[in-house]
Chain A
Amino acid sequence: MTASPTPPGPPGPVPGGAPPPGQGPAPSYAPAARLSPRMLLIDPVRMLPSLFLPLVGVLFVGGFSPPSFGWAAIGVVGSVAYSVIRWATFTYRIVDDRLELTRALVSRSVRTIPLERVRGVDIATPPLHRLLGLAVLRIDTGAHGAGKQEGELDGVTVAEAERLKTVLLRTARARRAATPGAGPEIGPDGPLAAVDAPAAGAGTCVPGEAIGASEAIEAGASAHAAAHREPEVVYARVPRKWLRYGPLSGAYLLTPFALAAGAVGLAFQWGEQLGFGGDAAVSAGRWLWDHPYLLLVAAALLVVAMPLAGVVMYAIFNWDFTLRSRDGYLVAERGLITRRSVSLERRRVRGFEIVEGLAERWAGVARVWAIVTGLGDSQTRGQLLPVVPRAEAGRVTGAAIGVLAAPLRPHPPAARRRRLFRAVAPWAALTAAGALLALATGAGAWWVPTGIAFVLALLGVPLGLDRYRSLGHAYDGTHLSVRSGALRRAQAVVERRAVVGWTLKQTWFQRRAGVLTVIAGVGAGVGGYEAVDVSEADGPAFAAEVTPDWIAPFMR
């Protein structure tokens, strides 16, 4: 889908007047390059786990005899040879306006990625790579479907990765800036959208200027300077003491259990491989069963380990989180062992979502995601901030993306009745059914689930009220916002120009309560953001307030 009306831009890969900074790149990109040969050290190490069991098996079957050593050697040599051939047959190069990844291992395959489709470039350095000064470069093209058009260069030197990133992003942006079409309202790769870049050069709205407006305020740079060379701004550098908030998000809390389960699984698997047989494991289990207090102690230990493991895992993944802007990209960097850097093109950022769990609200902290058009895997890639105090989240999103300058409007009392009913009624019904059963059968055992259901019904009251308090919607002239949820409260703030349509929904029950749900269709993030249970009068009025031309003609 290289756009046919590509304008007569500079044919070379680097557009004039935009020399890449830093180390001088090689002037020509045409010759195909290979990954770093240092990868030959990494590949066999990575294959070790998959070789390990077969090798152990061979040694056990054949004993420590010359033939089995021979087989083991063949296995090792074979895998090394495989990685050498794989390395030798994989090349990449940038030709004109595209990146070509050629793999000629069995059959020759060329993956072509048009540079104008490059939306972001991630650089990650897993531990082994870091040891050897290598990095993994991932190219995000925003294609739908996992890995359909993504490119990966696993094992280039860090300097080469930085150089490629600069070249890819710069060329991609220059290409697109010269090709109007990825306009603000056009969403991810719609068939019409991508092809339809008219040659009608400078229209009224050059995409570069569309962001320029918002960027100029923040970075204090002019629109064009912002598009080309913008001073690097650090929006957030998360202090290490905030890592302790990590477990409040619930992330990684189950790590001890996962580790324990993994260990048991491995013990079984290797036990059989190493010849202990299943009997040993079964008798071990039986022995444990006979000493239940040991199981209890183990369970208690696991529970105690939860917050600790949570902090450790969270710290490993979110170590020294920084968010900065560089050359029209928002760059988020984090990680202790694997340092991960994600670049989000600012032109595609349409808003943000602030998420708080119950524990996080109690502690006054929140997480933030960016709402970006055409971002694959947005859950891991789109994260703008890990768990940080709410005020900091507000400050950073305000500086990096935008501010919602209007208070959330509450929803009508009917919404509170509905939230309460939905939180309480199912458990109340179960309580009643359980009580009836218990009375009818006279079996005391029925009272246990009945009691649990009753407690849950009682808890439903504060939960329902809290859900109601979470509800809200707002519009301040440039951004609209909706919020909902109690156990996981999420507030989305989206730019007006990202709205591509509206859906209003009313179930039969909502109609009787005089409320409806308004869904703003947005060509980014999850696609739609809902204002739940708005009054019948306010719902269409809200949509009409945001986009009067689309709704007002149809109002009564």
Chain B
Amino acid sequence: MSVPLRDPANQVSRRAITLWLLESLFGFVLLVGGSALAATWISGASWSWLPRWIEAGIWWLPAAVAVLMAPFVVIEPFWRYAVHRWELSGDVVYARSGWLSRQWVFVPVSRIQTVDKEQGWFERLLGLATVEIRTASYAGSSSIKGLDYAVAARLAEDLARRAEELRDDAT
């Protein structure tokens, strides 16, 4: 059995894979570097309560971390690309994101308070952008990452204009 929700219509940009690859590489380097630092610290400390075999084999720690995490560095971006999708129809924004864990967000345009278009450092490099949609609640807010810049700009503009129109109707 699976969740009875259909896939949102649009995929994010293919270049988002590169973005996620860069990000996961960055995280990988930090993680392996951190465990290497911890290993240096532990091997230099020579605590009496630590069993001898741990101290002798402490350099296996960063190696193990690297071997275990390496596949995910490659898998995560492609997995995310398969999961991350979005759609705007019937004045509702429907977006799916995640990889190991997933989340589906539904934001009706009439409840939107602000729409932001953002570009991080990597995103600017790749010509991508993130659309942040905010309502009065964190659970009704969504950010769609890895959109092509032109697509993001159009989506943000459409949403802002439509939100304005709908509010006029509602009040």
Interface residues of A (CB under 8 A from B): 180-181, 183, 185-188, 190-193, 196-198, 200, 203, 205, 373, 499-508, 510-511, 514, 516, 519-524, 527-528, 536-537, 539-541, 543, 547, 549-551, 553-556
Contacts and interface: CB of A to CB of B under 8 A. Distances in A.
B6 A522 contact: no
Contacts of A516: 3
B90 to A, nearest CB: 5
A505 B106 contact: no
Contacts of B48: none
7 contacts: A191-B113, A197-B171, A501-B108, A503-B105, A523-B137, A536-B3, A536-B4
A164 B151 CA distance: 53
Contacts of A519: 139
Contacts of A543: 106
A205 B169 CA distance: 10
Interface stretch (B19-27, B53-61, B70-78, B94-102): B94-102
Contacts, number: 155
B110 A185 contact: yes
Contacts of B140: 499-503, 521-523, 528
Interface in B87-144: 87, 89-90, 92, 94, 100-108, 110-114, 134-142
Contact of B114 (A181, A190, A507, A511): A190
Residue from A503, A511, A519 whose CB has the most chain B CB atoms within 10 Å: A503
Contacts of B110: 185
Given A191-B113, A193-B113, A503 B104 contact: yes
Name B's interface SS: mixed
Contacts of B107: 500-501
Nearest to B8: A554
B1 A501 contact: no
Given A196-B164, A200-B168, A551-B106, A501 B100 contact: no
A506 B103 contact: yes
Nearest to A193: B113
A536 B139 contact: no
Interface residues of B, number: 41
Interface in B1-47: 1-6, 8
Contact of A501 (B87, B102, B135): B135
Contacts of A181: 171
A536 B1 contact: yes
A501 B3 contact: no
A503 B139 CA distance: 6
B3 A504 contact: yes
B168 A527 contact: no
A183 B114 CA distance: 17
A181 B103 CA distance: 32
Q: Which 7 A-B pairs have the closest CB atoms?
A: A187-B136, A501-B140, A523-B136, A521-B140, A190-B113, A528-B139, A521-B139
Contacts of A527: 136-139
Interface of B: 1-6, 8, 87, 89-90, 92, 94, 100-108, 110-114, 134-142, 163-164, 167-168, 170-171
Contacts of B170: 183, 185, 203, 205
A493 B96 CA distance: 27
A200 B102 CA distance: 42
Nearest to A552: B90
Given A185-B110, A507-B100, A549 B90 contact: yes
A500 B111 contact: yes
Contacts of B106: 501-503, 543, 550-551, 554
Residue from B92, B134, B139, B168 whose CB has the most chain A CB atoms within 10 Å: B139
Contacts of B3: 504, 506, 516, 536, 539-540
A521 B135 contact: yes
A197 B171 CA distance: 8
Given A185-B110, A196-B164, A523-B137, A508 B101 contact: yes
B101 A505 contact: yes
Nearest to B103: A505
Nearest to A194: B113
B137 A522 contact: yes
Contacts of B1: 514, 536-537
